[in-house]
A = this chain, B = another copy of it.
Amino acid sequence: MSKYTLGLDFGTNSCRCLVVDISRGREVASEVFEYPSGVLGIITDAADPNLARQNPQDYIDGIRSVVLAAMVAAEAMDSGFSAENVIGIGVDTTGSTPIPVDVGGKALALCDEFYGNPNAMAWLWKDHTSTAEAAEITELAAKMHPEYIDKCGGIYSSEWFWAKVMRLKRVAPDVFGAAASFVECSDWIPALLTGNCNPLTLKRSVCTAGHKGLYCDEWGGWPSEEFLAELDSGLVKVRDSLGGEVLTADQPAGVLCDEWAGILGLPAGVAVAVGAMDAHLGAIGAGCREGTLVKILGTSTCDLMVGRSGDASIPGICGIVKGSVLPDYYGIEAGQSAVGDLFLWFVNNHVPESYGGSVGEKFANLEKRATEQSPGESGLLALDWNNGNRCVLVDQLLSGLLLGQSLHTEAHEIYRALIEATAFGALKIIKRVEWFGVPVDEVVCCGGLAEKNALLMQIYADVLGRPMKVSASDQTCALGAAMFGAVAAGKNAGGYAHIDEAQQALCGVRNEVYEPIHENVAVYAELYALYELLHDSFGIAEEMKDLGHVMKLLLEIRQRVRGKHVEG
């Protein structure tokens, strides 16, 4: 009799439940719930484009909807399935997405006093209102505790926990005053399901805490009281409220509480794993292990690897956190700020109607014509920095560059040059981690571009000089969550003793692999040398007259000019 686990995946616009038959190693059914609040699930503010919040009620409604629907679908797909055979639940969410809560762990946005108040909701990962606070944290850490930011590329992001909490205190002191604590979405969902919502005892994810909350065993867990007090005395109270263990996702957060067992029609006592962030569990679902780089290719990209040693920081890599991917390894996260977004910007703004009437047609014709070209044939070279450079320069103030245009350059040639630029950026990351001793023997891709863009995948194979594999699952995040649900349930319950076993049973790659083409590899090696020259010339400034200042000076002029407009 097969055993099943559920992977609950909480994304930016929707949540999903994936039912996995862990005994036979296959995905059975999945269902999606689109968040009803705001615009595509995001609460926005017309006056501030940086604001992005989520309504915690959407999470609650979403769990009920997707679990019930997925189980109905599973019964239809698999006669062996029954709710009685579900032994575990795993959870992945976006992050950092902290939620202010009361002493009982209830989201303040669901309490009468702050009902519907965006500041009392979940501060979604892509909320960028905390830029000033992030800069303060970076500055203080550089002076007082450089080790705090050493492993996240030297810059604390406005997307992260402490910046958002600081910001909340400044813009909504009433909400801050009422908050007993702040709980990351990745921790709040398992707390809800297990009925252990007390911020002082609920289990927190080392993945989220480590990558976003400056949590690290090396300095005794959360950042020091002195450090937080120097930033803002109110943060000390928050630190004190972060009780409970900080764990890897193979550990149980607890078991499904009676209330939720009743709602979902599942047996009480089903294991619920500690949560983690979506990209990291996506890496698990794609088979991330030592030597395997998992590339999540979407609007931006996220590269996940694991390493044996976390002693050395790797300059320019977004984050290195013990246990954030595989429990026994350091999880290493890197990424590029704009990949799919870069192509979408190009198609929306710079491609004439001769390529088609719709975005889809334009993409199809760009791909068709760019595929007919050989590497180097256009004479173009680009930098992929339209949204700044996340790795390895960690500099949001960089911008795009294209060179080599003639009077005959056509749109599909630029499209290909942009894809190539992102591939060169990807190679830069691989070279950086390899230099610091992290092997990259295999690249497994997932995400929309990996599945849909054959041109991109071939270019990446040729630029990286490695076969590009595609994960068999197209729901690797939910699959990773379900796998940790099976480990949290344990061997005795019919699950797995260790995540390795789950990966062996459930992970795989598709048959079609993009193999590097010898002569393309050679041309791209030449082009990469030129890319590196541009990269270092425009990305690094030493002397006053360096080109490395140009993009920043343009941005300064731009902001000054726009500022005048606002005044005037």
Number of A residues, CB within 8 Å of B: 58
518-566 of chain A: CB within 8 A of chain B: 523, 526-527, 530, 533-534, 537-538, 545, 547, 550-551, 553-555, 557-558, 560-562, 564-565
List 7 additional contacts besides A379-B555, A401-B403, A533-B545; criterion CB under 8 Å: A374-B565, A377-B558, A377-B561, A379-B399, A380-B554, A383-B403, A401-B402
Interface string of A348-383 (1 = CB under 8 A from B): 111111000100000000000000001111111101
Asked if A502 CB lies within 8 Å of chain B CBs, one says no
Q: Nearest B residue to A557 by beta-carbon distance? A: B376
Asked if A34 CB lies within 8 Å of chain B CBs, one says no
Partner of A530, one of B550, B560, B565: B550
Contact sample, A vs B, 12 pairs, CB 8 Å cutoff = A345-B409, A350-B351, A351-B352, A352-B353, A353-B357, A377-B565, A378-B558, A379-B399, A381-B554, A399-B404, A400-B409, A523-B557
Asked if A120 CB lies within 8 Å of chain B CBs, one says no
CB distance from A541 to the nearest CB of B (A): 12
A545 to B403, CA, bound (A): 17
Q: Are A409 and B349 in contact (CB under 8 A)?
A: yes
Q: Are A386 and B407 in contact (CB under 8 A)?
A: yes
Question: With a CB–CB cut-off of 8 A, which chain B residues contact A414?
Answer: 350
A387-B403 CB under 8 A given contacts A376-B558, A545-B533: no
Interface string of A289-325 (1 = CB under 8 A from B): 0000000000000000000000000000000000000
6 pairs of A and B residues whose beta carbons are closest in the complex? A400-B405, A379-B558, A353-B353, A401-B403, A376-B557, A376-B561
Residues of A in contact with B (beta carbons under 8 Å apart): 338, 341-342, 345, 348-353, 357, 374-381, 383, 386-387, 399-411, 414, 523, 526-527, 530, 533-534, 537-538, 545, 547, 550-551, 553-555, 557-558, 560-562, 564-565
Q: Are A349 and B410 in contact (CB under 8 A)?
A: yes
A403-B342 CB under 8 A given contacts A350-B352, A561-B374: no
A403 to B405, CA, bound (A): 12
When all copies of this chain in the complex are counted, the total is 2
A65 to B357, CA, bound (A): 47
Q: Nearest B residue to A555 by beta-carbon distance? A: B379
Q: Nearest B residue to A387 by beta-carbon distance? A: B407
Q: Are A557 and B526 in contact (CB under 8 A)?
A: yes
Question: With a CB–CB cut-off of 8 A, which chain B residues contact A565?
Answer: 374, 377
CB distance from A525 to the nearest CB of B (A): 11
A530 to B551, CA, bound (A): 9
A557-B527 CB under 8 A given contacts A349-B411, A547-B547, A550-B381: yes
Q: Are B387 and A406 in contact (CB under 8 A)?
A: yes
A474 to B220, CA, bound (A): 80
Q: Are A550 and B527 in contact (CB under 8 A)?
A: no
A538 to B401, CA, bound (A): 13
A386 to B414, CA, bound (A): 14
A305 to B564, CA, bound (A): 39
CB distance from A221 to the nearest CB of B (A): 37
A284 to B540, CA, bound (A): 50
Q: Are A404 and B409 in contact (CB under 8 A)?
A: no
Question: With a CB–CB cut-off of 8 A, which chain B residues contact A406?
Answer: 386-387, 399-400
CB distance from A294 to the nearest CB of B (A): 25
Q: Are A402 and B404 in contact (CB under 8 A)?
A: no
Question: With a CB–CB cut-off of 8 A, which chain B residues contact A375?
Answer: 561
Q: Are B402 and A342 in contact (CB under 8 A)?
A: no
CB distance from A95 to the nearest CB of B (A): 23
Q: Nearest B residue to A402 by beta-carbon distance? A: B402
CB distance from A558 to the nearest CB of B (A): 4
CB distance from A396 to the nearest CB of B (A): 11
Q: Are B400 and A551 in contact (CB under 8 A)?
A: no
Interface core residue of A342, A404, A551 (most chain B CB under 10 Å): A404
Partner of A399, one of B338, B352, B405: B405
Q: Are B405 and A401 in contact (CB under 8 A)?
A: yes
CB distance from A335 to the nearest CB of B (A): 16
Q: Are A407 and B350 in contact (CB under 8 A)?
A: no
Q: Nearest B residue to A403 by beta-carbon distance? A: B401
A555 to B342, CA, bound (A): 25
A555 to B379, CA, bound (A): 6
Interface core residue of A414, A545, A555, A558 (most chain B CB under 10 Å): A558
